[in-house]
């Protein structure tokens, strides 16, 4: 796999944390940042999948955004009253 070098700016404190974490894991800064980027992209995709599933379920059941919002509020109220 070919790679491309990019320049990126970090605040000093964040860069120190990146370097500290990379060193603690015996990795290079680049390895740590590549993994962080992959994890971020995967997390964004999982959330997109969750929301897509929610939209499909709402569509299948004929629910409007207002119906969904009302159900969420009712659930939160019932949960809070149990505490």
If one counts the domains in the chain, the total is 1
Question: For residue 2, is it within any domain?
Answer: no
Mean pLDDT of the chain: 95
DSSP states along 9-74? ---HHHHHHHHHHHHHTT--HHHHHHHHHHHHHHHHHHHHHHHHHHHHHHHHHT--HHHHHHHHHH
Question: For residue 5, is it within any domain?
Answer: no
Question: For residue 6, is it within any domain?
Answer: no
Q: List the domain range (segments joined by +) for residue 70.
A: 12-82
Q: What is the pTM of this model?
A: 0.73
Question: For residue 4, is it within any domain?
Answer: no
pLDDT in tens, 25-62: 999 999 999 999 999 999 999 999 999 999 999 999 99
């Amino acid at each position: 796999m070919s790679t491309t070098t990019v320049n990126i700016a970090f605040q000093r404190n964040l860069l120190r944390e990146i370097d500290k974490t990379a060193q603690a894991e015996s990795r290079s800064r680049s390895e740590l940042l590549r993994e962080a980027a992959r994890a971020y992209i995967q997390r964004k995709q999982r959330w997109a999948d969750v929301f897509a599933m929610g939209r499909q379920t709402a569509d299948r059941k004929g629910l409007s955004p207002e119906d969904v919002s009302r159900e969420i509020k009712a659930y939160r109220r019932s949960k809070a009253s149990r505490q």
